[in-house]
Amino acid sequence: MVSINPESKSRAVNREVLSELIKLHGKTSLGGKLPAYDGRKSLYTAGSLPFESEEFSVTLVDPEKKDKEKAEREYKITIRIAGRTDLYHLQQFLKGRQRDMPQETIQVLDVVLRESPSWNYVTVSRSFFSTTFGHRGDIGEGLECWRGYYQSLRPTQMGLSLNIDISATSFFKPVTVVQFVLEFLNLRDASRPLTDRDRVKIKKALRGVRVETNHQEDQIRRYKITGITPVPMSQLIFPIDERGTRMSVVQYFMQRYNYNLQYTSWPCLQSGSDARPVYLPMEACKIVEGQRYSKKLNDKQVTNILRATCQRPQQREQSIREMVLHNKYAEDKFAQEFGINVCSDLVSVPARVLPPPMLRYHDSGKEKTCAPSVGLWNMINK
């Protein structure tokens, strides 16, 4: 069992903390074990650790912060043995000698097989997405479709099986915020001011989205959007020092960065808190790649995703095979650590094709019976 202090809700941050811990203490305090981590509270190793409970300390540096003291953050990690998983009950269950499925054991093995893709791809629930899996299709209004795959370890009559299927979901396009707004609102003229209705739409769409600044070539900083200013950038004035000297955003960017802002009739993005806001001109920001769009899609976007991902059975089978080869399970260091072997071939299941049932229509028709062919039949004269 793992506890991290200060606690983070982000699995990515937790993984960074554990990764740093393994780099520092993996070959010593952890006994050379390569743990599999679920990003929350559970940490699994192949074999026992050389302690029952131990506390570690690591420091992570946030490269996006200017102040070195503020950029460094210390984390306290406590690892405590919570239990030991025995594969015997799983073996008995798979042989049909035990009725109760050892769900905890299966969960451990599932976490192990998800460890590598969790580092390499964008994780959404039980699916993984990446631009390396093929074409990223534009689905409209500043969004694009990423291909990926669903993965789950399941017990079957043939033993443990890795269930893999092709999936797709929507992501923000990694474009400038100005371009996103133009596409999202379907605008052609960027010089006209945004209406209050437009501003509310943009605020809902971009809240929580991470952006990176592009007005300084030598320093790119990232921010999380918390809102949008209620007034245009040309009217936005804020204090720049402790004496209360005030300056507009347009003047500040020209004086500080020699950057001439163009879309002064548009509002600014806002980051930070309401007490200490950070104002970001939309034209100086770009949306960070790899952020899923979790809000409801409109009918056109859903249609575009279906059109981009629709495949015939043979094509889908080939895509799954390619995905398995791409993942290289045989070279997965975590699978090797836990002694897991994954066959790259699809499972062959003995089956038979049942003949379609004969359809019978009302006696008033010319043809009272019909035999479907390949799932189809004609309604004429019925």
- Cβ pair 10, 51 in contact under 8 A: no
List the domain boundaries for the chain: 1-84, 99-174+289-351, 203-287, 354-382
Torsion sign (Cα): 252, 237, 222, 172: negative
Q: What span, in angstroms and rounded, lies between the C-alpha atoms of 125 and 310?
A: 22
Could you tell me the pTM of the whole model?
A: 0.83
Residues making up the chain, counted from first to last: 382
Q: E-strand spans in 81-221? A: 122-124, 127-129, 137-140, 143-156, 159-172, 210-213
Give the fold, CATH level 3, of 203-287: paz domain (2.170.260)
Please report the pLDDT score of residue 374 as a whole number. Answer: 81
- Cβ pair 73, 66 in contact under 8 A: no
Burial class of residue 336, CB neighbours in 10 A (0-12, 13-18, 19+): middle
Please report the pLDDT score of residue 245 as a whole number. Answer: 77
- Cβ pair 280, 221 in contact under 8 A: no
The number of helices, as runs of H, and strands, as runs of E, in the chain is 10, 19
Please report the pLDDT score of residue 69 as a whole number. Answer: 47
β pairing state of 267-272 and 222-232: antiparallel
Please report the pLDDT score of residue 280 as a whole number. Answer: 92
| Tokens linked to 368 | 């009272």
Mark the ranges of the chain whose per-residue pLDDT is less than 50: 66-69
Q: What span, in angstroms and rounded, lies between the C-alpha atoms of 167 and 353?
A: 27
Q: Residues 343-365: pLDDT tens digits?
A: 888 988 888 988 888 888 888 87
The CATH number of the structural domain formed by 99-174+289-351 is 3.30.530
